[in-house]
Amino acid sequence: DTAVSQTPKYLVTQMGNDKSIKCEQNLGHDTMYWYKQDSKKFLKIMFSYNNKELIINETVPNRFSPKSPDKAHLNLHINSLELGDSAVYFCASSPGTGGSTIYFGEGSWLTVV
Amino acid sequence: GENVEQHPSTLSVQEGDSAVIKCTYSDSASNYFPWYKQELGKRPQLIIDIRSNVGEKKDQRIAVTLNKTAKHFSLHITETQPEDSAVYFCAASFGDYKLSFGAGTTVTVRA
C-alpha cells in the first residue's frame, strides 16, 4: 500500500500551459506539504496545510495554487507554466506538530518545454 | 532565519571506511533533526532522526550526534557499503509545521 501517492509521475508540457498534480495520503496524517526539488537537488518547501488550512506559503509565485479538499488530499495547480518550473515536485505528509517525521510521495517530474 | 547548512556537498569514500556529514542550523528553538537518504530517481526516505533532548542516537551502522549549544548535528556512517551511495539530506524543524533541509551531500562509496 502506497502511503503518499501522487499523480502524474511524469509530465511534459509546453510553456504557458496550466497543469495539476494530485496527492493523497492514507496515513491519517493532519499535515501535508508540497516540496520542490530543483536540478541541484535542493529540497525547498512550497506549501504546508494542516487539517485543510494553509499554514505555510513560502513566497511561491501566485501561479501556484494549492488546494486541500480534505486532510487526506493536497493538490497543486500551476498556471502559465514557465521553463523555470521544471523540477521534481514532492508531496509529503506528517502526523502534525512539534517536529514530526515527513513522509514523501514518489515525486512528480515536471518538464516544461 | 531558517537556514540549514550542510557540508560537504560531495563525499567519496572507500568501501569499509566511515563517512561523516555535518549540518548547522540557525534557530535555537529547533527541536527535531531528521536525516533523509535519496537514491537516484527515488523519494527521500528517513534513515534516522534525533530530538533536542538527546545527544546521540545509533541504529546499526548509522549514528547521529547533536550539539545544541553549537547548533550543529552530524551523521556518521561506519563500514560503508556500495548501497550507501546516495544523496543525504539533513533537516531541522522550525516552528510546529516546517522542516527545512540542507542542500544535500552526494556520497559515493568506491568498491
For the segment A14-68, what is each residue's pLDDT rounded down to a tens digit?
999 999 999 999 999 999 999 999 988 999 999 999 988 998 888 789 999 999 9
Alpha-carbon B43 to chain mean position = 16
Radius of gyration of chain A (CA): 13
> Cβ separation of A99 and B89 shorter than 8 Å?
no
- Shortest CA gap B96–chain A (Å): 5
Residue A5 confidence (pLDDT): 97
- Shortest CA gap B84–chain A (Å): 18
| Preferred mutation among A102, A108, A109 to probe B, highest tally of B CBs within 10 A | A102
Q: Contact, B87 vs B74, CB < 8 A?
A: no
Provide mean pLDDT across the span B44-56.
Answer: 93
- Residues of chain B neighbouring A55 (CB-CB closer than 8 A): 97
CA distance B64 to B84: 16
Q: Is the pLDDT of residue B110 over 70?
A: yes
Burial of B111 (0-12, 13-18, 19+ CB in 10 A): exposed
> Cβ separation of A97 and B89 shorter than 8 Å?
no
Q: Is the dihedral of CA B43, A75, A32, A61 positive or negative?
A: positive
Reported as a pLDDT band with limits 50, 70 and 90, residue A1 is low
Residue B96 confidence (pLDDT): 76
Q: Could you tell me which chain B residue has the CA closest to the CA of A58? A: B98
Q: Is the pLDDT of residue A98 over 70?
A: no
Provide mean pLDDT across the span B53-70.
Answer: 94
> Cβ separation of B32 and A99 shorter than 8 Å?
yes
Q: Is the pLDDT of residue B98 over 90?
A: no
Q: Is the pLDDT of residue B106 over 90?
A: yes
CA distance A8 to A22: 7
CA distance A35 to B10: 22
Residue B24 confidence (pLDDT): 97
Provide mean pLDDT across the span B12-24.
Answer: 98
- Shortest CA gap A82–chain B (Å): 23
pLDDT > 70: percent of chain B? 99
Q: Is the pLDDT of residue A108 over 80?
A: yes
CA distance B3 to B91: 9
Kindly list the distances between the CA atom of residue A19 and the CA atoms of A8, A33, A69, A106, B10, in Å, as whole numbers in the listed order.
10, 18, 18, 18, 35
Provide mean pLDDT across the span A64-86.
Answer: 95
Q: Could you tell me which chain A residue has the CA closest to the CA of B32? A: A99
